[in-house]
Amino acid sequence: MGEKVLMKGNEAIAEAAIRAGCRHYFGYPITPQTEVAAYMSKRMPKIGGTFLQAESEIAAINMVIGVAATGKRVMTSSSSPGISLKQEGISYLAGCDLPALVVNVERGGPGLGGIQPSQSDYWQATKAGGHGDYHNIVLAPASVQEMAALTIKGFELADKYSMVTMILADGTMGQMMEPVEIDDIEIKTVEKPWALTGTGMARSHNIVNSLYLKPDLLEQKNFERYEKYAQIEKSEVMYEEYMMDDADICLVAFGITARVAKNAIAEARAKGIKVGLLRPITLWPFPSQALAARASQCKAFISVEMNMGQMIDDVKLAISCSRPVYLCNRVGGMIPSPEEVLDKIISVSGGAD
């Protein structure tokens, strides 16, 4: 057991990335994720790594593509407006089947929006924010410990499936401090025979490319990629169930709103309302089967989100609209209070018993 220390979520991501073997970070400052870059700027030069503050987010993501092609662990981080700028590069990473970690510590939008926390990039993250048919694996931490653990897991999944993993956090997760323990997290690496490391005149050239002018070949590439996605949907879904054993009402929430939901559940249960929480940890792949399995037991679902209702679509799809799904939300940097979630639970339950 290592010692527990208090760290900001953003710092935990940076430290965990370094522990995971990431030695290349490219970024551009933006609130509320700047501590990731600040931490990297201090640590990378001391451990023989690269910290580079690029001239723009677009430059940073293209530097990520370059390092990813060599098979080294590489990452970038930003907040919502900056992540929009990176989408072209993320699409190219997908098209080239390259692994990389992209961190989005979300703030309110659209446009420059504000700097307070938000979850309004759910659609962008899970439905592919750039052009073309592709997915990113999307991980949603709900504690500083998970900011660290899912960063390490994110590199592992990115390497295993040769694709982008995105950490979808928000301003509170990035800025809050909690005890964190990184030493005990196991680091797994995989061989990358496809990487551009120089042939040493001993093998034929590796090629990393996303351009396929022959449509039948491009179609085949897409089919292959979706076989990989199907495998991920089968084996990599992660979620937490909280007080679901006897629940009549199922809250669905990720990240900060899942924590608010837990407070509301405690208050609702004190009033005799049987309510639980299903917290997706992977937003893609979405825990659809786990939700579907609860549809026969629960009379209603409530999606608690900091956006105008994005994940709620996936909840409805997961349960094939077999039960009503309600939305409890705040936007623009506002966070729902436990009382607001409780009020929604009470109204959905038809009043306290």
Q: What is the DSSP letter of 117?
A: B
CB of 142 to other proteins, least distance (A): 10
CB of 240 to other proteins, least distance (A): 12
Taking CB under 8 A as the binding criterion, the range among 20-28, 183-191, 258-266, 308-316 that sits at the site for other proteins is 258-266
Cα 278-128-163 angle, rounded to 5 deg: 90
Tell me the residue length of the chain. Answer: 353
171 near other proteins (CB under 8 A)? yes
Rg (CA), the chain: 21
Taking CB under 8 A as the binding criterion, the range among 83-91, 220-228, 255-263, 303-311 that sits at the site for other proteins is 255-263
Taking CB under 8 A as the binding criterion, the range among 11-19, 44-52, 220-228, 332-340 that sits at the site for other proteins is 332-340
| Residue-wise DSSP of 77-114 | EE-HHHHHHHHHHHHHHHHTT--EEEEEEEBS-STT--
**Nearest CB to other proteins, comparing residues 100 and 335:** 335
CB of 13 to other proteins, least distance (A): 16
Q: Virtual CA dihedral for 98, 100, 104, 105, nearest 10 degrees?
A: 170
4 near other proteins (CB under 8 A)? yes
262 near other proteins (CB under 8 A)? yes
324 near other proteins (CB under 8 A)? no
How many residues line the site for other proteins (CB under 8 A)?
A: 23
Q: How far apart are CA 217 and CA 213, in angstroms?
A: 8
Q: Which of 69, 98, 76 is nearest to 24 (CA)?
A: 76
259 near other proteins (CB under 8 A)? yes
338 near other proteins (CB under 8 A)? yes
Q: How far apart are CA 177 and CA 272, in angstroms?
A: 33
270 near other proteins (CB under 8 A)? no
The rounded Cα 188 to chain-centroid distance in angstroms is 19
Q: Could you tell me the CA-to-CA distances from 31 to 53, 103, 143, 144 in Å, in that order?
A: 15, 13, 19, 18
Q: What is the DSSP letter of 203?
A: S
Q: Which of 256, 273, 278, 304 binds other proteins (CB under 8 A)?
A: 256
105 to 134: interface string for other proteins, x by CB under 8 A: ----------xx------------------
177 near other proteins (CB under 8 A)? yes
Taking CB under 8 A as the binding criterion, the range among 87-95, 147-155, 177-185, 311-319 that sits at the site for other proteins is 177-185
Taking CB under 8 A as the binding criterion, the range among 22-30, 94-102, 152-160, 172-180 that sits at the site for other proteins is 172-180
Omega within 30 of 0 (cis) for the link into 32: yes
Q: How far apart are CA 138 and CA 346, in angstroms?
A: 32
Which residues within the stretch 279-298 sit at the binding site for other proteins (CB under 8 A)? none
Q: How far apart are CA 61 and CA 93, in angstroms?
A: 9
**Site for other proteins, rule CB under 8 A:** 4-6, 31-32, 115-116, 171-172, 175-179, 256, 259-260, 262-263, 266, 335, 337-338
